[in-house]
Structure 1
């Protein structure tokens, strides 16, 4: 379907949805307010407007009123009145405008800074189409449209409306050269003004607007952005932006929207500092981690950075191909604490953090949670899609540099949110103050302790040295927190960082989303950020940069370096200090990576009252992450275990205690006990081999010499059960010289679990009397065991009086 047909379809659909045709704005009120009254918002002003509008309506015709209105209103880009607008946008007089041009201009006065064809093309084109829809509808109802004092009506059918829309859509608009000192800033302030007043009040009242911009900072920021971007042309990087905010007040001290406002080749007029359509890469991760702190995590929480799979949406019921995140360096780093993971910007731990935090807000919580809820609390408003996945923590959602920089200012300001502000005061042409900024009450959107933890991690130069080295551009002469970000295909480079005095965000990329070549947040954006911070922070702090203030609720604790818990006697890797919120201490020593525990050997669960029969004291590893367990069974994982003096084949600690409903073995020697004395060489071995609430893999009947057996020898094995006392095996003891032997039934449950029952008996067998013979025989005496092994598989049978031949001992390793 072509553009023409698509627009016609929209035209018909939109018009059918409208109910009123007479909802025209009263233009009289747009021209009667005196300049000194336009900025006032009072009942008196409104009453005067009503009276004056009535008087104007009495004295002038509607055509005359419309003419006055069209000749005064603002059309954007310094065009006041329809004649100036026709000349600015189309280079002709108003009486030469065609339907496409007239409908385009008619849509601008409602919000000239928003409907700006040079900086916001798609929205402006959509606005023209709205006007055409109205014109088409009026033509359908009234036949044609009578305009002003013209005798020729305007008739707009579907074809004319579609052609007009396509005409403007295909035109190239050459932006006018703007001679303002800070053009992006001027346009930004205009848009802020339009949030306070209607466009005609703003542009016809002789306002003098006092803003927060610091010319010294602005000039230096512009110089740094322009110079750095020029050095990146070989990397196909042509654009950049910078925002600097005073976190305690929200004042925007510098805003650079591009290296060159008038450079059309790079879309220089687009303010990239305020564009809400860029992906932040890893620079969004602190938002995710501070949400995890609210849910109980700490800087010492252990995360397994290993190959892992996730449902893409985070929903366990998501049946799509699993999401397999990788780190920027292509490596996996094993167990890392939150401090290490965030400071080095590892991706896999960030995804696991979001899997814990969750993406969307839980409506049952008292305040917004989840990563999006936290972002909204910090001031980010652009996460509006319903289909975000776990890649959101790696930059999978669009933000603006201004909002992300403002979010970082919450960390710099001890968890208090102060919205960014650009306009401090407005004075009218008579010198009367018509507006003065009143700082809002500070909003403590996150705990001061959590803000300090984030600042501590992002300012920890030693912690981030793993990936960034100790002498990176993030390491400044004063304490500063910093985070970089790089998106897929190198489309966006970010560096954001702060002190309590100043927060600065920098973006480098291309406005048209063209990828750069092998440039990252550290190499693309960080040089600008580092130079600006070193220039501006000493000035804004009067030569004494402020360090992060430690809240009273922060405590120091010693932790095991690897596990992040309080050290146990099995701590590996040494100890170090970490900081915590006082009500969120490290995990206790019992949660260290290694500990001893009583384990039910049959289920592998923690032993308890319901399973006391088959228990072993085991060294176990506290690890619930299934991907971490798999990794430790791989070559890389085993290598890590060996390098950290940990068991090469660890037994993982179970997450619960066994219960009466779990499988439970029943193993008994029903005719033998530890006080049994055996006097008959033919020993029947009776017992029970069974499992309640489950089954088993196999059993073995074995013997060993003495009570402390060093080697077990097989007598019989099988897979059948003996639920009641039955004969398991008959053993011919002739040839056994030892006075004490142990028997055991070893029951297997797969490869990992087992249960066994032992009994030690005393042998008091009669001494065999050899038969007298005249001639020595060359054969061994009857009854002496042969060297030829005879395998035996026992089943429950009726005992026979035929002696059972004694099998040669087969060595069975002790589990």
Structure 2
């Protein structure tokens, strides 16, 4: 019966040996718990923990292990390693004799036999110990390993695969996590402690130190400090997990790029030198903003031609941020004025305005389904009539809203989605405020939308790991896109708000726009040169308002420094004008000192002289047909007048004369109303309907007060 079992075990062992992997296969199949993200040149950027069950680091060649470790290992586990052929029969006999007399012995398992259990799941040691058949299979596999692998390969594989304390697998992980060293830097004491762990990986420090002391005593030149070994072991075992070596430059991008399966390292499109600069510049800017309740920021740099990500900084880091794990590149937030270029581009494309068209920067009442919308400029001031170039360059809110109402929120929302912004709601949800960035977007999609402006209105996807690339598509007219880029690069056009020497100015061509969301919760700076598009966000991950931090003081300095770095030695060149454009001299009448200038026009929209008369609106501009006004009984009636605006003419309300001119004010009464605008001959230019909801406002002449009833 025993012979039959022995024969069966040998057959099983032989079957296992037939499937024995090669050394190259074992090394190639080595799975690490941490994977390395490399930059475009192969420089390490980030080590990222993926496997939470065990800690195994990248494979280390035998030549990179300390001689002291190799000596301690063989002394502890396999003194005749270079003499036997997989099974140490002398050790087997000694072990059997010791078991017979109940004596403690080293055991008969060689390093090769232990390796057989590490690379073959069928031979893994169960908790209750190996069966006789498994032991025979282990011995058989060890013999086959010795016949096909070199001693160096066996030793190298063992060192990289052997389980050690707790979650640690392999000497590289144990050396780094216990002693904060590489395997090559281990000294004699550390080597002895690691070798002692092989027998009892989770033993108490005193027992491990005792075994290490015995190993050192076997080396004639060593005089071990055994009490010191115990203290050293206790300190190593109590050490909290350390961050692994390296700069850890791109943790957020690494989470996108590194997957659970696949190679131990992956090359990315990131540029380590640029990534390092982006991290440092962002941190320095936030340090300078200390005391203004701002701790978070994010940066992304895209290659205009390829869509490759050259830098991705998702956070200011744990030293500055209480939410360093949040990826600011992907978090959705209100972009503020950074949406204005898309508003003007669409209006230029539709030939509703030109860059020379005059826009009214004065108090406005925009009727919406929810009532009146009263946009205000950032500085609460007004500048009267000025050109669209100046309105966009100086980031004025009221003209942008007026242009947005020409387009309608639905048309604008559709265009923003064409640019890849992925709005979560339809245009009617945001209404007129969409022109000022009331929708939430993320820095990645917004920066790529600006990249589409840089590419003349052609949108293409950002190149991200494991993402299918969608074909490039034209989303905007090249001529109108060029004009918008020209305005954003015009330092003179933004001088009223930002001055001539702001951080938005660069030595070469760069189109740039800042933005600040409501209550100073977020500020942005996005812009592009001929080769790169850079997006910067500064704020708080939790949404808390900053203290007196605008786009130009918060995000723009980071953008400026990165543009300077990117174009060292090679200034950015302005784009060439596409077909469909005309440039001619435009003269302005009725504006606040805009001098004559050469202006770009979409062909067919040229204006040689720009005046208020030439710029006067056609028909009724306010209210919109179907508008609904909601009256508030708690507000003074004088503050709730409705202003009808449009072309100069005679106004009629519900068939009765109301006034003449380009605008008239009316004290609203509830109900549905018909508004008509007539020209000088009494012909109806436009007629529309609107509704007023709420209380009736009654004036009390005797007291000069008004009340609601």
TM-score range, shorter chain: 0.5 to 0.7
Q: How many Å apart are 1:519 and its aligned residue?
A: 0.9
Q: 536, 552, 564: which one pairs with 1:522?
A: 552
Contact in 1 for aligned 2:33/2:55 (Cα 8 Å): no
- What's the secondary structure of 1:558's corresponding residue? strand
- What's the secondary structure of 1:483's corresponding residue? strand
CA change 1:176–1:322 in 2 (3 A) is: farther
Any unmatched runs of 5+ in structure 1?
A: 1-35, 38-70, 86-174, 313-317, 361-369, 424-434, 565-570, 596-619, 629-649, 657-661, 663-693, 698-751, 756-815
Cα distance in 2 for residues equivalent to 1:653 and 1:380: 39
> Under a length normalisation based on structure 1, what TM-score does the superposition of the two structures give?
0.46
Q: How many Å apart are 1:286 and its aligned residue?
A: 1.1
In structure 2, what is the equivalent of residue 278 of structure 1?
333
Q: How many Å apart are 1:544 and its aligned residue?
A: 3.9
Please give the per-residue CA displacement for 1:243-267, whole angstroms capped at 9, x wherever unaligned: 111111101111111221x348521
Is 1:547 aligned to residue 574 of structure 2?
A: yes
Is 1:80 aligned to residue 51 of structure 2?
A: yes
In structure 1, what is the equivalent of residue 256 of structure 2?
191
Please give the per-residue CA displacement for 1:634-675, whole angstroms capped at 9, x wherever unaligned: xxxxxxxxxxxxxxxx9964599xxxxx9xxxxxxxxxxxxx
CA change 1:287–1:72 in 2 (3 A) is: same
CA change 1:77–1:306 in 2 (3 A) is: same
CA change 1:695–1:235 in 2 (3 A) is: closer
In structure 2, what is the equivalent of residue 381 of structure 1?
422
> Under a length normalisation based on structure 2, what TM-score does the superposition of the two structures give?
0.53
In structure 2, what is the equivalent of residue 726 of structure 1?
none
Q: How many Å apart are 1:622 and its aligned residue?
A: 6.1
In structure 2, what is the equivalent of residue 28 of structure 1?
none
In structure 2, what is the equivalent of residue 268 of structure 1?
324
Q: Which has the higher helix share?
A: 2
Contact in 1 for aligned 2:334/2:522 (Cα 8 Å): yes
Contact in 2 for aligned 1:304/1:625 (Cα 8 Å): no
- What's the secondary structure of 2:584's corresponding residue? strand
Please give the per-residue CA displacement for 1:359-416, whole angstroms capped at 9, x wherever unaligned: 22xxxxxxxxx22221222121244467222212212111111111111011111222
In structure 1, what is the equivalent of residue 349 of structure 2?
294
Q: 304, 324, 343: which one pairs with 2:393?
A: 343
Cα distance in 2 for residues equivalent to 1:378 and 1:484: 18
CA change 1:79–1:246 in 2 (3 A) is: closer
Q: How many Å apart are 1:454 and its aligned residue?
A: 1.1
CA change 1:220–1:323 in 2 (3 A) is: same
Q: Which of structures 1 and 2 has the bigger CA Rg?
A: 1
Q: 248, 252, 259: which one pairs with 2:305?
A: 248
CA change 1:338–1:309 in 2 (3 A) is: same
Q: How many Å apart are 1:444 and its aligned residue?
A: 2.3
Contact in 1 for aligned 2:300/2:536 (Cα 8 Å): yes
Cα distance in 1 for residues equivalent to 2:515 and 2:323: 23
Q: Which has the higher contact order (CA 8 A, sep 6+)?
A: 2
Cα distance in 2 for residues equivalent to 1:79 and 1:552: 52
5 Å-filtered alignment, 1:731-742, equals none
Please give the per-residue CA displacement for 1:100-147, whole angstroms capped at 9, x wherever unaligned: xxxxxxxxxxxxxxxxxxxxxxxxxxxxxxxxxxxxxxxxxxxxxxxx
Q: 605, 618, 633: which one pairs with 1:585?
A: 605
Please give the per-residue CA displacement for 1:171-216, whole angstroms capped at 9, x wherever unaligned: xxxx98754757573443443566xxxx5x44xxx25322110011
CA change 1:482–1:178 in 2 (3 A) is: farther
- What's the secondary structure of 1:373's corresponding residue? helix
CA change 1:304–1:80 in 2 (3 A) is: same
Contact in 1 for aligned 2:507/2:571 (Cα 8 Å): no
Is 1:558 aligned to residue 585 of structure 2?
A: yes
Q: How many Å apart are 1:478 and its aligned residue?
A: 1.1
Q: How many Å apart are 1:550 and its aligned residue?
A: 1.5
Contact in 2 for aligned 1:180/1:186 (Cα 8 Å): no
Is 1:496 aligned to residue 526 of structure 2?
A: yes
5 Å-filtered alignment, 1:719-730, equals none
CA change 1:538–1:322 in 2 (3 A) is: same
Q: 301, 304, 309: which one pairs with 2:365?
A: 309
Any unmatched runs of 5+ in structure 2?
A: 1-23, 26-31, 36-46, 57-239, 624-644, 659-678, 683-709
- What's the secondary structure of 1:534's corresponding residue? helix
- What's the secondary structure of 2:582's corresponding residue? strand
CA change 1:515–1:654 in 2 (3 A) is: same
Q: How many Å apart are 1:351 and its aligned residue?
A: 1.0
In structure 2, what is the equivalent of residue 594 of structure 1?
613
CA change 1:177–1:514 in 2 (3 A) is: farther
5 Å-filtered alignment, 1:581-660, equals 581-582=602-603, 584-586=604-606, 592-594=611-613, 653-654=648-649
- What is the Cα-based RMSD across aligned positions, in Å? 4.4
CA change 1:622–1:560 in 2 (3 A) is: farther
In structure 2, what is the equivalent of residue 356 of structure 1?
406
Cα distance in 2 for residues equivalent to 1:222 and 1:573: 41
CA change 1:651–1:533 in 2 (3 A) is: closer
Cα distance in 2 for residues equivalent to 1:73 and 1:594: 69
Q: How many Å apart are 1:278 and its aligned residue?
A: 1.3
Contact in 2 for aligned 1:493/1:507 (Cα 8 Å): yes
Contact in 1 for aligned 2:335/2:441 (Cα 8 Å): yes
Q: 245, 248, 273: which one pairs with 1:216?
A: 273
